[in-house]
Amino acid sequence: MQKVVMTGASGGVCRQIRPLLKGLWPELVLSSRRPPEDLAADETFQAVDLADRVAVDALLDGADGLIHMGGYSVEGPWEAIHEANIVGLYNTFEAARTKGVKRVIFASSNHAIGFYRRDGRIDHDVQARPDTRYGVSKVFGEALGSLYARKYGVRVFNIRIGNVADRPADHRRLSMWLHPEDLVQLIRIGLDHPAIVDDVVYGMSHCERAWWDNSHARALGYRPKHHAEDHVAFAMAEQAKLPPDPIGDQFHGGTFCSQEFDGGLADLD
């Protein structure tokens, strides 16, 4: 990889991994609608709205790899999700295809499978169970990636990210926390591993209470360095500040499941 582009540069996940990406490739271009407030003098930035196809084309000109962290990152109105995560993502994959980008890392999310219950364990191959319109857009993204891999040869690595932070933020995150260094390890596997086609892995560190079987990531060489159980006291203290959530507390997606919940079939498996 000579030139790698990362979208979503002004978002929270990129803020945490930008310092760790420095020097990994000869050229790293950061992009989002607005520059990150803490953009350093040695970082290259290009402002692009993903809804603007011409601008996305220009962004990916000459790129070998794309780390796609851009888009709408929580639940929101359909119009906003549609523009950023459906139209914007389509533009991004089309630009990747026409510009000859070899690899795409797609920041998928645990909210693609948020309606699985916490008392079970799932692997990367289960049927989608999105918990929000946002989660639906992540399922769409994984499907789009599969199409572009199998039809056009753009290899895609889908990371169903749990929650990226220095420490697990609460009880739920003890099962799905992802330290920034472990995320970078996954990104490097996705850009470099020769066997990647349209693979799906879970973006979590070593979580002893995991609800996800991440053996596919392990088979690709992923060895997370950070252990969630090292932070139990902090996570549980934070949890004590939160109100109970009778619906959200049953499912992987937490509050994303309980938002707007109304007469759902939540007591099924």
Q: What is the DSSP letter of 124?
A: T
By beta-carbon proximity to ligand 15L, the closer residue of 55 and 122 is 122
Task: Determine, following the binding rule CB under 6 A, whether residue 147 of this chain makes contact with ligand 15L.
Answer: no
Work out how close the CB of 256 gets to ligand 15L at its nearest, in angstroms, rounded to a whole number: 6
CA end-to-end distance (rounded Å), the chain: 44
Applying the rule CB under 6 A, the residues between 21 and 80 that interact with ligand 15L are 73-74
Specify the residue, 32 or 109, whose C-beta has the smaller distance to ligand 15L: 109
Contact characters 162-201, ligand 15L, x per CB under 6 A: -x--------------------------------------
Binds ligand 15L by CB under 6 A, chosen from 7, 10, 85, 110: 110
| Catalytic-labelled residue, pool 134, 148, 202, 222 | 134
The C-alpha angle 142, 145, 147, rounded to 5 degrees, equals 115
Active site residue 148: no
- Distance CA(105)–CA(111), nearest Å, equals 17
Residue 258 touching ligand 15L (CB under 6 A) = no
State yes or no: residue 137 binds ligand 15L (CB under 6 A).
Answer: no
Alpha helices in the chain (DSSP H): 12-21, 53-60, 78-81, 88-98, 133-152, 180-192, 215-219, 232-239, 255-258
Which range touches ligand 15L (CB under 6 A), out of 33-41, 103-111, 208-216, 219-227? Answer: 103-111
Q: How far is the CB of 111 from ligand 15L (least distance, A)?
A: 5
Write the CB contacts of 63 (distance below 8 Å, at least 6 apart in sequence).
Answer: 3, 4, 5, 29, 96, 99, 101
**Rounded to the nearest whole angstrom, what is the least distance from the CB of residue 172 to ligand 15L in the complex?**
7
Give the bridge partners for 227, in sequence order.
Answer: 206
Instruction: Compute the distance between CA of residue 9 and CA of residue 165 in angstroms, rounded to an integer.
Output: 16
Contact 195, 219 (CB under 8 A): no
Which of residues 16, 109, 205, 214 is near ligand 15L by CB under 6 A?
A: 109
Q: Which two tokens stand for residue 25?
A: 């490739």
What gap in Å lies between CA 140 and CA 128, rounded to an integer?
A: 10
Map tokens 């220095």 to a residue: 166
Among 3, 99, 111, 226, binds ligand 15L (CB under 6 A): 111
Residue bearing tokens 């639940």: 75
- Residue 208 DSSP SS3: coil
Give the binding range for ligand 15L (CB under 6 A) out of 2-10, 16-24, 108-116, 216-224: 108-116
What minimum distance in Å lies between the beta carbon of 110 and ligand 15L?
Answer: 5
Q: Which is nearer to ligand 15L, 65 or 70 (CB)?
A: 70
User: For residue 235, which amino acid is it?
Assistant: A
Active site residues: 134
Site residues for ligand 15L per CB under 6 A: 73-74, 109-111, 163
